[in-house]
Amino acid sequence: MFTKMDRISRNVIDFLTLVEEFEHHEVKLVSLKEEINTASASGRVMTTIMIALAQFEREQISERTREKMAWRATKGLPVGPPPLGYEMHEKRYRPLPKEVEIVRFLDQAYLETRSLDQVARMAYQRGFRTRKGHTLTKNAISCILKNPAYIGKISFNGETFQASHDPIRDQKTYARILQSLERNWFHKGSGRSKAKLYEYLLQGLMLCGYCQGKMVPRTSTGRGGRRYHYYICNRADKTAGIDCGKNYLDAVEADHYVLDYVKQLALRDDLVLKLCQEQDTSFAESLRTLRRDQERIKARLIENQREAGNLARAIARMGPKPPRAILDACQELDREKAELEATLSRMGDEASKLEQTSMRVELAGKTVRYIAQILSHDRVTPALLKDCLPKFINYVIWRKDVKQPTGRVEIALFERPFRGNDGRLLREIVEDLECRAPTALGIPRLP
């Protein structure tokens, strides 16, 4: 249900795809202000025309906005919010003294150190933050150093125009900064681009044990041109270790450790049995709790209906003009009834899903052994390994004490073990692996 057609989509292809998906699941579209009939050919044509008009309107607005921004840029007027160091005054940028100090400090610090990491730490030690109070990350500092607005220029759509505001950085300093940034990029390169040289199997699964944030892949080059592949906390990488300690982990060792763990798990029928039993117990307890909550909601719904009936009888006795307080009480009961019914419906869906999660230990063991067979096959590709791991691993946490040379890897299966990340049942995962693996790897199907 939606208010108007253009609220659900302003793209004809997206809307038709959405209608087809709804019809597949026997879901009907309802608009509060328009008549929609997708059952007949004429109705589909009219609906498509309405969406096409909405798409035309959206595209026209975009074109006008771009034209207006281009016109402002050619006149030297701002085309966006003011960067750090400026404020908006009469539709133009005006230098903000307290922030100008920050920009000039970043310029001087970078020209002295030639390192974004060191500049980020120095800015943090001086108490410099973003306007929202966040830490100045390396990316934010790099954008400030490269922004042509500080030399009195406006950049738009790949072109640069003379601006109407006063510069706070001279051309010579700006040229030296760009030259240094380009030199560092040429010598050091990008850890992100180099990271593509190795297939990081745990990408998207590895979490930092300090901040619980994502650990991202990086590649660095050591002496002699040797490449080192590792995972690093994304927050630590962005803030030069300020918001989170520099948490590194060798990617090759971590990937091999997790693969070995899965292979060992396939040989431990007792561990697989324990995991299934624990999960069944957890599901049973969750189901009992959900049933108790359902009974409580049903009892309150019955009480709501009783109170609504009493108010209706009272209003009938009062005549045509009952007190406003009585009418407000009726509306409140109606609102509460709708919320209770929606909650009861949602709980029913959750209970139905929990009842379907009863696990078969034998099939679970076969699945783990099957996956282990794929992982250990000599013809398996890294891309296939990377695709298989998220099917039964939820996340991997790397915890390391700063004072110790070693750390601990924690591997967590899905909250519903042996279920896919999109909620597919175990049998569906097995069938998916059976369809792909035998042809690609020559592995026999499960009996």
Q: 210: which 2 tokens?
A: 């300090």
Q: Do domains 86-188 and 277-355 have the same CATH topology?
A: no
337/357 Cα distance (integer angstroms): 31
User: For every one of its 447 residues, what pLDDT tens digit does the chain have, with 9 covering 90 and above?
Assistant: 777 777 888 888 888 888 888 888 888 887 777 777 777 788 888 888 888 888 999 899 999 999 999 999 999 999 989 999 999 998 899 999 999 999 999 999 999 999 998 999 999 999 999 998 888 999 999 999 999 999 999 999 888 999 999 999 999 999 999 999 888 775 555 545 444 568 898 988 899 888 888 999 988 877 777 888 889 988 888 888 888 876 788 899 988 888 888 777 766 666 666 766 666 676 677 778 888 888 988 898 899 888 888 888 887 777 777 787 877 888 888 888 888 888 888 888 887 776 665 544 455 566 666 666 776 666 777 877 787 777 777 788 888 776 666 788 888 765 444 444 444 444 454 455 555 544 444 444 434
DSSP for 315-346 reads HHHH-SS--HHHHHHHHHHHHHHHHHHHHHHH
Question: What CA–CA distances, in Å, run from 345 to 219, 273, 302, 333, 373?
Answer: 50, 34, 15, 18, 42
Helix spans in 126-198 (H): 138-146, 171-188, 191-194
Three-class SS state of 229: strand
Q: 396: which 2 tokens?
A: 């991997």
pTM summary value: 0.60
For the domain made up of 86-188, the CATH class stated in words is alpha beta
Ordered by start, the domain boundaries in the chain are 5-74, 86-188, 277-355
DSSP for 380-419 reads --HHHHHHHGGGTEEEEEEEE-TTSS-EEEEEEE-SSTT-
417/390 Cα distance (integer angstroms): 11
pLDDT of 120: 92
**Strand-pair partners of 92:** 89
Q: 172: which 2 tokens?
A: 């010579």
CATH of domain 277-355: 1.10.287
CB–CB of 446/430 below 8 Å? Answer: yes
- Residue 193: name the closest of 213, 220, 215 by CA: 220
